[in-house]
Structure 1
Amino acid sequence: EWTRMRLGLGRIFLLAAVILGAVPASAAERVLTLSFGGEPRRVTAEELLARPDAATISIPNDLSYKRAMTYRAVPMLAVIGDAALRDADTIEARASDGFVSQIPAALIRKAAEGGSVPWIAVEDPSAPWPSIKGQSHSAGPFYLVWEHPERSSVGSEQWPFALAALTAVAHPLQRWPQLAVEEALSQDAPERRGQQSFITNCMPCHRLKGAGEGEIGPDLGQPMNVAEYMTAAGIRAIVRDPKAVRTWPKQQMPGFTAEQIPDGELDALVAYLEHLAKR
């Protein structure tokens, strides 16, 4: 009797949590929200899997699973639509865990011109994906994956799993002017290159002086800029191997290899943070 009561209470608490927002709706309902002008559109996993353009794709070196993976997926270009993408600058890809990637719409449009091809992989409940190494959950129910990522230099932070929403937004520098470097800097200044590296690699998890949507890591610009309390060598070390610098039980940040962020780009990222610390 007690067991049945506990199960009943558990269902009630889960329902209440979904209603109140404690459990992401996408996790409970397997729904992806698309916002590209007008009212947001909600599509279910079942609807996506039933689309005529759904296909079985193979990703030889999946970024999250670190091995070859096969998925049922739908082409991202078709799901969003050419008209919606034509005037978009940035696609904000929001995951249910607080990871928010700012993906240039141009990167997605390149798929029609021989570039990397983005797909929305959809987890089928009858054939669930394995858990991601070190985590208790899979990459589902929705996961943005890329065929031939090398063609368009797709970054490691542009593969959001546990995807919950895709939204057309303005460029990050328009939304958050505090991210911008001094206008007087030359176009080839390392600080400008570091600015772009920060937007691509750091903003999915971190904010900077309040700029950004990421909720996983701390703000790197306030109340103090990270360059004011950490040396340049320390910043480089924490980017390469965070656990070699500091650890805590719920640490989530992965290290970035020289292939993901080359040494020159990492130097530019440090220069950018130091530049903002002086402004």
Structure 2
Amino acid sequence: MRALFAGFFLLLSLPGLAADLTLTLPSGTRTLTSAELLQHPQLQTVEIAQDVAYKRPMRFLAIPVAALLTGVKASDHLQMVALDGFAAELPAEPLLQSTGSRAWLAIEDPTQPWPKLAKDKSGAGPFYLVWTEPQVDHIGPEQWPFQVVSIRGMASVAERFPALLPAKDANAEVLAGFAQFQKNCLACHRLNGAGDAQFGPDLNLPHNPTEYFAGDFLSRYIRDPQSLRRWPQGKMPGFSPQVLSDGELQQLIGYLRHMAGRKAL
């Protein structure tokens, strides 16, 4: 399946060939090509001081994401899906705002492809969610999906995947950890078989990481995966204290530990 995705992306990245973005929103479903989006009246050049995917300053042709979200309300929930199965769960409110952290859909011009992300990898196109002033509203790296092919309105995570929910009597720390899981983990991982991501392993089945990481090794792994499992093909990023504070990290681990006792049968 990954080989099919890679071949599909190679096809998309051929010079002169436009890519498609599918929008499934309250206003209906429509498909826009990169050529159409590059003619959008709100298209402009956006400077990103420290790009998450490229890890350096970048400049993109982009339009405000809000310009695409016809009929979407601040209380709605959206999902952006990438070619490789990464599925970013995003509340609509920050995507709609025009102050503070602002969301932009960067559009790759097929005649001027973006750089590769690494020597043996493709670029971040055809579409990439980038943010200006991300620090204002604490936008994390999992909220920068690249190689995006669709944006769709969805019911909330709790409504769609009850197997992710903590027990009704769970304390505030566990509930806060559930919020951190949705923000930082659900784009790549399932839990109890629940979730839309096709990228990383399930975090509760057959075993929860709190069951096999002793001591503080799980915290260290989340901070820097390669420090514990040196694997050239490893794709999990590290979560620095600037992205996930020590308190938030412990909330996340508390949620995972809680869910180890709530395995789906």
TM-score computed with the length of structure 1 as normaliser: 0.85
Let me know the Cα RMSD of the aligned residues: 2.2
Matched, 1:176 2:161: yes
Q: Could you list the per-position Cα deviations for residues 115-162 of structure 1 after superposition, in whole angstroms to 9, with x for gaps in the alignment?
A: 311110001123221111355211111100011112221111000010
Work out the CA distance in 1 between the residues paired with 2:67 and 2:180.
28
Q: Cα–Cα, structure 1 residues 159 and 246, in superposed 2: closer, same or farther, change >3 Å? A: same
User: 2:161·2:194 contact (CA, 8 Å) conserved in 1?
Assistant: yes
Report the identity percentage. 37
For residue 141 of structure 1, the aligned residue among 115, 120, 126 is 126
Q: Which runs of 5+ in 2 are unaligned?
A: none
Q: Secondary structure at the match of 1:143?
A: strand
The answer on whether the counterparts of 1:71 and 1:121 sit within 8 Å (CA) in structure 2 is: yes
3-state SS of paired residue (1:63): coil
Where does residue 215 of structure 1 map in the other structure?
198
Q: Give the secondary structure class of the aligned counterpart of 1:178.
A: helix
Maintained 8 Å contact 1:144/1:159 = yes
Partner of 1:7: none
- Runs of at least 4 residues off by over 4 Å: none
Q: Which residue is equivalent to 1:80?
A: 69
Q: Greater shift after overlay, 147-156 or 202-211?
A: 147-156
Determine which structure has more spread, i.e. the larger CA radius of gyration: 1
Alignment pair present for 1:56 and 2:11 = no
- Report Cα offsets for 1:200-241 as digits up to 9, x if no partner: 111111110111111111101112222222235221111111
Tell me if structure 1 keeps the 8 A contact 2:74–2:91: no
Q: Check the 8 A contact 1:115/1:151 in 2, yes or no.
A: yes
Contact 1:94/1:165, CA 8 A, preserved across alignment? yes
**Aligned match of 2:110:** 125
For residues 23 and 105 of structure 1, what CA distance do their matches in structure 2 show?
Answer: 29
Instruction: Point out the structure with the larger helix share.
Output: 1
Which of 76, 84, 89 pairs up with 1:89? 76
1:102 alignment counterpart: 89
The superposition leaves residues 13-58 of structure 1 with CA deviations (integer Å, 9 ceiling, x where unpaired) of xxxx69xx97369937511110003652110000000111111111
Q: How many residues align?
A: 255
Residues 175-224 of structure 1: CA deviation (Å, up to 9, x unaligned): 111111122234xx211111111111111111101111111111011122
Separation in structure 1 between the aligned mates of residue 215 and residue 34 of structure 2, nearest angstrom: 45
Mapped contact 1:27–1:96 kept (Cα < 8 A): no
* Contact 1:26/1:32 (8 A) holds in 2: no
Kindly indicate whether the alpha-carbon contact (under 8 Å) linking 2:221 and 2:228 is maintained by their aligned counterparts in 1: yes
How far the C-alpha of 1:174 sits from its partner, in A, is 0.8
Does 140-149 or 36-45 show the bigger shift? Answer: 36-45
